[in-house]
């Protein structure tokens, strides 16, 4: 088995009901934070982690995502005729970021199912899964941090962060022992437990490095909470056969699938933006002082 990580699976089949009405005709992954759609932040993290092959798990109504990363002859010709070279460079940059393969998830049967349908495209090699709702702002890309852990341990790794205990029922929760700073050997995983079921508050955020054995584990996984095939449940099966690790990454995570999380991400990325950051900071100060 080739153990270099070449592919990233990005599930984008979800309907985005948490963001209606904005997502009625536009995929939620195309909602803009400052000047680019959220999916572009995800793809840039993947590319900065040396991955060029992206497997989108898609559904009908999501073609805007593929188009965003595609070459646009019409647009590039127009921009070059008008002499708008700065914009042309930006548009070209996007179309050269990645190669995309799209796989259809024909039924909404859960995250585990979304990963399962990529088996023939991924093949017998480790890969990463990145969820579009979780944006991570960090110096070293979160996926890259995880690949480093994977390369050392050669076993699957999930990214985790501590959440308030009252919120464990929103996440896949990991129980385990810390074997070195920030790395846990996983003993058990539970998808969206009620707070009285676990003492752990280590929540999986949407970054996974998976060995291909996950596919056979997924096939054995029965529908879990919500009647969906849960990736967390498949990982809980996998850890019975192989070691599995959780990694507390360095960085700040935003739940961009949630209205408040999206706003927080917008403010943070705007403050960091080279063009608008300084002026936006002044504006925020004015607004805050009037509160």
H-only helix segments in the chain:
38-47, 63-68, 73-81, 85-96, 111-116, 119-122, 142-153, 213-219, 231-238, 259-272, 277-289
Is 234 an interacting residue with respect to ligand G1P (CB under 6 A)?
Answer: no
Is 171 an interacting residue with respect to ligand G1P (CB under 6 A)?
Answer: yes
Residues sharing a CB contact under 8 Å with residue 19, sequence separation 6 or more, in sequence order: 28, 31, 257, 259, 262
| Interface residue with ligand G1P, options 56, 111, 210, 218 (CB under 6 A) | 111
Which is nearest to 187 in space by CA: 198, 176, 178?
A: 176
Residues sharing a CB contact under 8 Å with residue 290, sequence separation 6 or more, in sequence order: none
| Interface residue with ligand G1P, options 16, 27, 141, 172 (CB under 6 A) | 172
- Do the Cβ atoms of 116 and 72 come closer than 8 Å? no
Smallest distance from the beta carbon of 283 to ligand G1P, in angstroms?
Answer: 31
> Which region, judged by CB under 6 A, interacts with ligand G1P, from 17-25, 177-185, 204-212, 241-249?
204-212
Taking 3-state DSSP, the helix, strand and coil percentages for the chain, each rounded to the nearest 5, stand at 40, 25, 35
Is 232 an interacting residue with respect to ligand G1P (CB under 6 A)?
Answer: yes
| Interface residue with ligand G1P, options 46, 59, 131, 146 (CB under 6 A) | 131
Count of residues interacting with ligand G1P (CB under 6 A): 14
> Which region, judged by CB under 6 A, interacts with ligand G1P, from 27-35, 118-126, 179-187, 202-210?
202-210
| Interface residue with ligand G1P, options 29, 133, 161, 233 (CB under 6 A) | 133
What three-state secondary structure class fits 228?
A: coil
Is 205 an interacting residue with respect to ligand G1P (CB under 6 A)?
Answer: yes
Smallest distance from the beta carbon of 82 to ligand G1P, in angstroms?
Answer: 41
Q: Which helix (H) or strand (E) holds 245?
A: strand 244-248
Smallest distance from the beta carbon of 111 to ligand G1P, in angstroms?
Answer: 5
Binding site for ligand G1P (CB under 6 A): 111, 131, 133-134, 171-172, 191, 203-206, 230-232
């Amino acid at each position: 088995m080739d153990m270099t990580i070449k592919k990233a699976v990005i599930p984008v089949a979800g309907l985005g009901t948490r963001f209606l009405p904005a997502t009625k005709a536009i995929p939620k992954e195309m909602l803009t934070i400052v000047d680019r759609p959220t999916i572009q932040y995800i793809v840039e993290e993947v590319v900065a982690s040396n991955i060029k092959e992206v497997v989108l798990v898609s559904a009908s109504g999501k073609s805007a995502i593929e188009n965003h990363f595609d070459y646009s002859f019409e647009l590039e010709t127009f921009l070059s005729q008008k002499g708008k070279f700065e914009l042309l460079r930006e548009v070209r940059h996007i179309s050269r970021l990645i190669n995309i393969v799209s796989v259809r998830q024909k039924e909404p049967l859960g995250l585990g199912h979304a990963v399962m349908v990529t088996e023939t495209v991924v093949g017998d090699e480790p890969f990463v899964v990145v969820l579009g709702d979780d944006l991570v702002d960090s110096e070293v890309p979160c996926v890259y941090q995880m690949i480093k852990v994977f390369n050392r341990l050669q076993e699957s790794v999930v990214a985790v962060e501590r959440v308030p205990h009252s919120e464990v029922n929103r996440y896949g929760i990991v129980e385990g022992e810390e074997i070195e700073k920030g790395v846990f050997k996983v003993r058990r995983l539970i998808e969206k437990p009620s707070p009285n079921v676990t003492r752990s508050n280590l929540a999986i955020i949407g970054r996974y490095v998976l060995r291909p054995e996950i596919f056979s584990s997924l096939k054995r996984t029965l529908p879990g909470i919500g009647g969906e095939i849960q990736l967390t449940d498949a990982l809980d099966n996998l850890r019975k056969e192989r070691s599995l690790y959780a990694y507390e990454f360095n960085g700040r995570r935003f739940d961009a699938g949630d209205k408040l999380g999206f706003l927080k991400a917008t403010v943070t990325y705007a403050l960091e933006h080279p063009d608008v950051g300084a002026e936006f900071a002044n504006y925020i100060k004015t607004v805050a002082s009037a509160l």
